Amino acid sequence: MAKGKDTFVLEVSSAAQRDLKKLPKTIVTEILFKHLPLIKEDPIGHAKPLVGCLRGERSYSFGRRPEYRIIFYIEGNTIVVTVVGSRENIYKAAKKRKN
Domains of the chain, CATH where assigned: 14-98 (3.30.2310.20)
pLDDT tens per residue across span 1-42: 444 456 899 999 999 999 999 999 999 999 999 999 999 999
Q: What is the pLDDT of residues 30-39, one digit of tens each?
A: 999 999 999 9
Cα separation, 66 vs 56, in Å, equals: 25
Within 1-99, residue ranges assigned H as helices are 14-21, 25-30, 36-41, 43-46, 90-98
pTM of the predicted protein model: 0.88
